[in-house]
Chain A
Amino acid sequence: MLVGIDIGGTFTDVVALDPRNGRVFLHKLPSTNDNPALAALLGLHEILAQSGTSPERLEGVSHGTTVATNAVLQSRYARTALVTTKGFRDVLDIGRQRRPDLWDIDRDKPDPIAARGDRFEVDERLDRNGDVLKAPPAAEIEALIPWIQTAGVEAVAVCFLHAYASNRHEERIADEVRRRLPGVYVCTSAEVVNEFREYERFCSTVVNASLLPVMDRYLAELEGGVHDISGKAFLRVMQSSGGTMSATAAREKPINTFLSGPSAGVIGAVAVAAAAKQDDFITLDVGGTSADVCLVEDGQSQLRLDQRIAGLPVKTPTVDVHTVGTGGGSIAWIDASGLLKVGPQSAGATPGPACYGRGGTMPTVSDANEVLGRLNPDTLLGGRLKVDWDAADGVISDLAGKLGLSRTEAAFGVIRIANAQIVQAIRVISVERGHDPRDFALLAAGGGGPAQAAEVARELGIKTVLVPANPGLLCAYGLLHSRQRADFSRTRLIPVADGASGAISDLRDDVLAEVEEWRQREGKAPDDFELACLGDFRYGGQDSELQVDIGLGAIDEVVAAALRKAFHDAHEANYGYAARAQRVELVAIRIVATGRQPRYPAEDLSAAGDGRPSATRSVWFEHDGRVDTPIYQRSSLIPGTAMQGPAIVEQMDTSTLVLPGMSFTLLPSGVLVLEEAE
């Protein structure tokens, strides 16, 4: 049995899969935020019992964690020292010298975690090639050890200038600290981000160091719990890149887990969409306070390297999930200009929207959906939440009065603005990255996604909407379909001129040596992984790079010339022009090691309903006004039979809105597909 455990702020989701027959088991329990491992282990025991699995049949657990994210957001990281090059301890404060907000001058720069008094300078210096200008004096290394003891820090980040070109000075210090102070956690900048640009690298390294003790303690508990069930079972942790790593690797690189959950959701979406034969799609995950969108092309999500957490840059490959503060609980309000706004303030889970009947008094997106008849007026969450429809009606009517509009106009205004914000977020990840959203399907997830997806899709000219069987469990589901992944990179500036092939080859060999060392540490066979090798290229004088596939074959002058051409072509494709006479530079080489894709038999979903609606409700649509609309329970749909909108499909964790002019079909794979009529 394989188990995926995704921990959210409110619930811990557990999904188990029997790889023999593809059978899936689902479980949800309240999170234990003070110690998230408690709910994770309880959920693990419960799902094994629920599925009748004996302990020795537990193959392993894949885990989506928020431990590192929450530790940073709540300042619960370890007290951390920075050891750096003389003259540069303030790099962490200076940052890139930009204001955190262009207009709000009261916004402070992010807290750099290693306080100024907890920074130790060493009189060493490398040049840009990694050659030694000044070696660290022995007396300073000697002084460092008692300083760390006195400072009372639990972790140390060693960050020297140009360490990406040579880690010799960093390693010298780190070795000394590890040897003399075994209780202190240490990492070096070359280990964490082996690339140039000191602020981002130092900052990432300090963040990583400060989380080492936190992640170590957490995973020790979790791994202990898993091994108590079965000593052979593995524990893997989802990374922001959308691939998993071993618990051992996660203890060294907690910084790689900041988008653990959302990236698992994207992997889950890829698995769901593959079942519906869709490789190109955009995910729309709408929760209570925000909407996450991500573009997937050819079954691959885009990655980026400029993630931030609590304002601090962390340079790790991250699934390009874009978030906008528009969710079901987003509050509608009128600003001093007299215009209607939606979010980013949210009613959250408590008190929640007025329709939850828990004392919410502000109009929200969910309340507007209630007034328009789009959500069940009696109960939500499969009967577990009783709806206070009058409260929703009251807050929306109140808003309508202030706007001088009818109740319905106000309610649809809230939806229209919420949708416009979501549409803009999708444009950012599609149009602004050179993709036409009309070439993609829209995959709706989260409790709120399926209610907004049809209108958002129509606004963008998207013809197909996919709703997974369990839109609220996509992250946990994704953990079951994840592959192991490790990223390696190294910066060295190489002009790609005649005679450069040797230097390129040497740089790749250096990275490959690192891959090999990692493989042995992980105890894997060379066949367990596929390797891909990319180069970051740019024009001389530019300060940002484009990636070109270098491959793993021998690099001679012909190949080097082909790489140069491939970069010109990529530049032309991405930016509309190429400067073919201009000098081309290679800045870094990246190697990605990816485990094999797990394949499971499809779950048998032959049980079907009678295809009849459970009720009829008056629902408001933009061009048609109020329409008596059939309400279907998802379990009652007949797989493979297309039906016509308008309709609403209800299920335990969500409601799907189907617009007039759209058809909807439940596929045998369990995915609900909405399509625009031609």
Chain B
Amino acid sequence: MSAAETTAATPPATIDPIMTEVIYNQVLGAAEEMGTALARTAYSPNIKQRFDFSTAVLGLDGEVLAQAPRIPIHLGSMIGSVRELVRTRPLETLRAGDMFLANDPYNGGGQHLPDINVMAPVFFEDTPVAFVANIAHHADVGGMLAGSEAIACKTIFQEGIRFPTVQLMRQGELVEDILSIVALNSRTPDERRGDLLAQIAANQVGSRRVTECVAKFGAAATLGALTSYMNATETRFRAVLAGIPDGTATVEDFLDPDVYAPDRPVPIRLTLEKRGTDIFLDFSGSAAQLQSARNVPLGALHSTIYSVLKMLLDPGLAANSGYFRAIHITSPEGSVLNPNVGAAVGARALPCAVIGDVVARTISELVPERALAGCGPHHQIIFSGDRDQPGQFWVNYETYAGALGARPYKDGVDAIRVHASGSSNLPVEALEQSYPLLIEEYALNPASAGEGQYRGGAGIVRSYRALADMRVTLAAERQTVPARGLAGGADGQPGTFILNPGTTGEEILYSALGEREIRAGEVISVHTPGAGGYGPKTARVSATKAGGRPGRDT
């Protein structure tokens, strides 16, 4: 039990501590059942196996009542799409069996185009009572490069097909035209259709479950209990904040230089103030928006902050809007963390990892006992090639784990997804069954870990030999600016992409490379960044595993 959980508080008189718990658990169960249905019925590996999706039940005002996140960066991210839905389609125009789709960050409340939101109003006795919604990452939604999130994109028009809020189901009837448009615009059309049908099925499951709950307890009691639960979550988070001394911390870190301005660093500056039971984050002083696709729309910024604060301050906190109310975020318009309409945002997950470090550093200053050293963000390669039939492609989208930073009481974790990111790897044997690639090495890279009293986690090395001609598109952060150590701990080693390592043709590839041709027989190797250490190395006490087994030092 964490400290927050053992403190027995007297509940406010307005909350029924039993029915609130019972009803919330049913609605959370509905969100979880949606997730199971989505994973079960989805088509593409990215959704089905790597769980790159989330499901939620939201109030009519777009507040998250209960969410079952599978990936932290989706936490709270459906707020924007539901609010946009309600803004463009007044509640009185919605009908039972309606469903809507959106992905545009500027006109649909989305984060980036591959993440497609599907939302449905839930009706009880002809009255809308809530929304169910899910978000799923589609491996390709068109655009100039396979995968639809290449850093090289200069505007969102190059990133793929854009949807404002559009109708996907009309009173239970599928609007086939929308599916046709998505499929035609994707390099992998069959997957898109199967995945969208799965998103529809998930909402149908959720809608049915929420309706059952309302039928059982009544609309007023159900919504009252869910509101109470949000209030209780807010109360719990504010109690945690009350236990932290007031104060302000300002830190600066850097994204790797923009592909179109390689000589200029990209500062991310955060002033975090904890005052009473509120927390204020101000990103003024951060760089102006980039010309490439590493801009972070507000939705992604918010989700990252909600996730990292929950991890650092109260991991057991329920995933609903209640605690978001104590968090106040400011980021100037036109900056890299709140770009103007039209900016490319496809690769937003990478800069979000650096934002995670920045938030963690400010918390580390204010609450030193919960410090977290800089983390190694993931790297990404999108492989693509031609199939035998003309006009058909294969696309293999892979992300590679970085490492978790050290804490004041333990080593970091090797080879793991950090902060708001979270999807799985693709097994070597599955990869080699499906694509013309041979993996020659898949290993930890101990040298990448920042030394210290507590050591940062190690990144990985993964080397591919191409068995056919193909193209690769790369994305990364922390190839020039390392994950920082804390309290005297060393920085982690930056990451790198190397073509034909150890040969005369060895070449360091640019971290934001667009489609680069790779010939059959060539080798491409990814080294992900290690994480920062904590405390001076001289203070390290070497740990031996149980039974005298030799650990990583050997």
Contact residues of A with B, CB < 8 Å?
75, 79, 87-91, 93-99, 101-106, 108-109, 111, 115-118, 127-128, 133, 161-162, 164, 196-199, 333-341, 345, 402-405, 409, 413, 416-417, 420-421, 424, 427-428, 431-432, 493, 539, 541-544, 574-577, 579, 582
Contact = CB atoms under 8 A, between A and B. Distances in A.
Interface in B320-375: 372
A199 B432 contact: no
Nearest to B231: A337
Interface stretch (B38-46, B165-173, B286-294, B507-515): B38-46
Given A98-B417, A424-B29, A117 B549 contact: yes
A456 to B, nearest CB: 13
Interface stretch (B104-112, B440-448, B486-494): B440-448
Given A334-B11, A338-B9, A404-B10, A579 B190 contact: yes
Interface in B540-554: 545-547, 549-552, 554
Given A98-B424, A338-B235, A196 B430 contact: yes
Contacts of B198: 575
Interface-centre pick from A336, A405, A544 (highest chain B CB count, 10 A): A336
B468 interface: no
Nearest to B400: A97
Nearest to A86: B441
Contacts of B40: 574-575
Contacts of A544: 48-49
Interface residues of B, number: 92
Contacts of B33: 427, 431-432
Nearest to A153: B549
Nearest to B1: A345
Interface in B3-31: 4-5, 7-13, 15, 17-18, 20-22, 25-26, 29
A116 B439 CA distance: 21
Give the secondary structure class of B's interface: mixed
B9 A128 contact: no
Contacts of B433: 128, 196, 493
Nearest to A338: B11
22 contacts: A90-B415, A90-B443, A90-B460, A94-B460, A95-B415, A96-B424, A97-B400, A99-B417, A99-B422, A104-B315, A109-B413, A116-B551, A197-B430, A338-B12, A339-B11, A339-B17, A402-B8, A404-B13, A493-B433, A541-B434, A543-B430, A544-B49
B11 to A, nearest CB: 3
A335 B317 CA distance: 10
Given A98-B417, A104-B315, A542-B48, A338 B428 contact: no
A109 B416 contact: yes
Given A94-B415, A118-B549, A337 B311 contact: no
A87 B545 contact: no
Given A338-B232, A340-B17, A94 B444 contact: yes
A97 B33 CA distance: 25
B425 interface: yes
Contact of A127 (B22, B438, B547): B438
* Closest CB pairs A-B (n = 7): A117-B550, A338-B11, A337-B232, A117-B554, A115-B549, A413-B18, A87-B441
Contacts of B36: 428, 432
Given A99-B416, A339-B17, A541 B191 contact: yes
A402 B43 CA distance: 50
Interface-centre pick from A91, A340, A409 (highest chain B CB count, 10 A): A340
B69 A87 contact: no
Given A93-B414, A421-B25, A336 B7 contact: yes
B415 A97 contact: yes
Contact of B407 (A106, A116, A409): A106
A117 B233 CA distance: 46
A309 B20 CA distance: 34
B201 interface: yes
A539 B45 CA distance: 11
B232 A89 contact: no
A115 B410 CA distance: 19
Given A103-B315, A115-B549, A334 B17 contact: yes
B229 interface: yes
A91 B461 CA distance: 11
Contacts of A427: 29, 33
Nearest to A103: B315
B375 to A, nearest CB: 9
Contacts of B428: 88, 91, 161, 198
B442 A79 contact: no
Contacts of B554: 115-117
A416 B232 contact: no
Contact of B233 (A87, A109, A337): A337
A75 B11 contact: no
Contacts of B25: 417, 420-421, 424
Given A94-B460, A402-B8, A340 B21 contact: yes
A163 to B, nearest CB: 9
A94 B5 contact: no
A95 B240 CA distance: 34
B86 interface: no
B353 to A, nearest CB: 14
Given A94-B443, A99-B416, 13 more contacts: A95-B415, A99-B413, A102-B422, A103-B315, A105-B413, A118-B549, A338-B232, A339-B232, A402-B10, A417-B22, A421-B25, A428-B36, A432-B36
A543 to B, nearest CB: 4
A418 B30 CA distance: 18
A97 B10 contact: no
Contacts of B12: 338
Contacts of A345: 1
A549 B551 CA distance: 46
A73 to B, nearest CB: 13
Interface string B424-467: 11011110111000111111100000000000000010010000
Nearest to A114: B549
B15 A339 contact: yes
Given A334-B9, A417-B18, A541-B191, A90 B413 contact: no
A430 to B, nearest CB: 11
Contacts of A196: 427, 429-430, 433
Nearest to B401: A97
B197 interface: yes
Nearest to B12: A338
A403 B18 CA distance: 9
Contact of B552 (A101, A116, A197, A428): A116
B116 to A, nearest CB: 18
Given A93-B415, A338-B17, A116 B550 contact: yes
A198 B429 contact: yes
A199 to B, nearest CB: 6
Interface string B395-426: 00000110010010010011111000011110
A625 to B, nearest CB: 17
B444 A576 contact: no
Nearest to B233: A337
B51 to A, nearest CB: 8
A610 to B, nearest CB: 41
B310 interface: yes
B72 interface: yes
A409 B433 CA distance: 59
Nearest to A410: B18
Contacts of B429: 128, 161-162, 164, 196-198
Nearest to B35: A432
Contacts of B427: 96, 196-199
Contacts of A417: 18, 21-22, 25
B194 interface: yes
A199 B439 CA distance: 14
B41 A575 contact: yes
Nearest to B427: A197
Contacts of B422: 98-99, 102
Given A99-B417, A402-B10, A128 B43 contact: no
